[in-house]
Chain A
């Protein structure tokens, strides 16, 4: 089952000129379960070209911001890892809009609506 419904385009057009229930606001996931966790993982991986991702079970339940960084560092000889990182982490934000949960990848601007997920304003 496809866990996310699809890319949400033209989010700004939904908001109009005045604040309404459809205005996107930072959101939190409510009572995550296996389905919602799977939907979130799939959406995050999809935004990152399909890489494997590891998320905490309570991801996006306490903060609307989700930060990911490369997880696997090792050396095959003495096991020292990269200790001077110059790369950038990946940032996502969860938006709540009209009852929907929308995950935004900040670097690309990609929006995805999360299936099987209940949200509330942060």
Chain B
């Protein structure tokens, strides 16, 4: 067998890889490099210590290169041993080829050409685009492992208690408060939902394009540690002197009911699938059980989290005759791994609708309450993501009617197992979640009404976020639209709401980007 190599000329100039260069100069065949005569896939992505010999399309097991590091960490906690950048690149190449959901759309690149592993990783991806034209793979990252492994008390993060929406990260910037945590420094300073940020420490936020100034503004938006102090100025002439602290956010801050002519309607604002949300959701649903004939579930700012929470909440919403023994979500990996999870090496078993608590924060094994509904109204936005979308998809899989009010969801049916190698944690899409019916194709999101290219259209209304009113206010546009749709299956045309519309009649509404993690820094940029 002769396999052509694709080692560029510059490889031959690398003294550490001179053997490969010599092989290339003599004969472009594996056999000339000492392998392949017996048909074995040798000389493929070798360690630099063993010589060079990248062969396009041939891959050794990732384990063969794992933890062989150019700069190994020291200490008994680390599996690192001496290696090279080439080893690290080879590990990435084989790991991507084995577990990346779209491995067969990745251009195989010579790992010896890249001296920076994260740059190489960024290239090992599909370049395909979705129907609407956005990148098919929007969901990968790297970060230092020690940062990735940092832990926080569930629901706790450093900040002022403000959740921002960044409508425009470049000049003229448009940054707005969408949520203020009750009792937080921001709340005590009088910051309100809907206010726009105009300055940080006297620096103009809207138009400033100075790099040094933007560093200060970013730091002021996302304080790194408790005690950081900034003066934030908002429209309405509010100057807030804010000191960051460890803020405890409630994952379920609002649970209430509305009396209507056709019965009592429950409203539940659910912001984050944290561990502590398990008990909070049980308490919330228990308070509504037997009291409501419909539920409006507000997920507009919920970017996901523990999938087990999504399963439990879905169970608690639906008629148990629809969910008993049914699949909430099944993980589907690439076609190399149809039956066994390639990360855990365990057989792939679907996650059913959990009928009991699983012990994230509530005692494990407690029966869950249920509203016994056959339909649910979900308030959504572009930050309704992942596990929140799994709720929508999981319920649709057992024929619960989901009515969507708001904007198209983010479109993330995917997940990953982050992996450390040599002190860097890598994450890429490895699986897709599918419901009882095997459906998981919502990478363009779920859209209320029709009109969003590629999105899965659901009945409902396209309505802008009403930042002039508090969440849970029945006059707030999205909540008002949900209540109206429930009564008449019509969408309101709201005064004063440019973009608020009858369902499916205008371009999709947008909510702006809402970062949720304290690790999300540098979120505003220059206009260059």
Contact = CB atoms under 8 A, between A and B. Distances in A.
B152 A69 contact: yes
Interface residues of A, number: 37
A93 B285 CA distance: 26
Interface string A43-80: 00000111111111111000001111111111111111
A55 B153 contact: yes
B147 interface: yes
A53 B385 CA distance: 26
Contacts of B141: 74-77
Contact of A77 (B140, B148, B305): B140
Nearest to A45: B151
A99 B208 CA distance: 57
B415 A83 contact: yes
Interface in B359-389: 360-361, 385-388
A56 B246 contact: yes
B417 interface: yes
A54 B139 contact: no
B504 interface: no
A89 interface: yes
Contact of B148 (A72, A76, A89): A72
A89 B151 CA distance: 9
Contact of B517 (A49, A72, A86): A72
**Chain A binding site: helix, strand, loop or mixed by DSSP?**
loop
B275 interface: yes
A59 B388 CA distance: 28
A54 B274 CA distance: 15
A51 B275 contact: no
B383 to A, nearest CB: 10
Contacts of A86: 307, 415, 417
Interface residues of B, number: 55
A77 B387 CA distance: 20
A71 to B, nearest CB: 4
Interface in B131-147: 138-143, 146-147
B526 interface: no
B246 A69 contact: no
Contacts of B153: 53-56, 59, 66-68
B25 interface: no
Given A77-B140, A80-B138, A57 B245 contact: yes
23 contacts: A48-B151, A51-B149, A53-B153, A56-B248, A57-B245, A67-B361, A68-B151, A69-B151, A71-B151, A73-B519, A74-B141, A75-B427, A77-B140, A79-B520, A80-B139, A82-B415, A83-B388, A84-B386, A85-B304, A86-B415, A86-B417, A89-B360, A89-B361
Interface of A: 48-59, 65-86, 88-90
Interface of B: 77, 138-143, 146-154, 156-158, 245-246, 248, 273-276, 303-307, 360-361, 385-388, 390, 410, 412, 414-418, 427, 433, 513, 515-520, 523
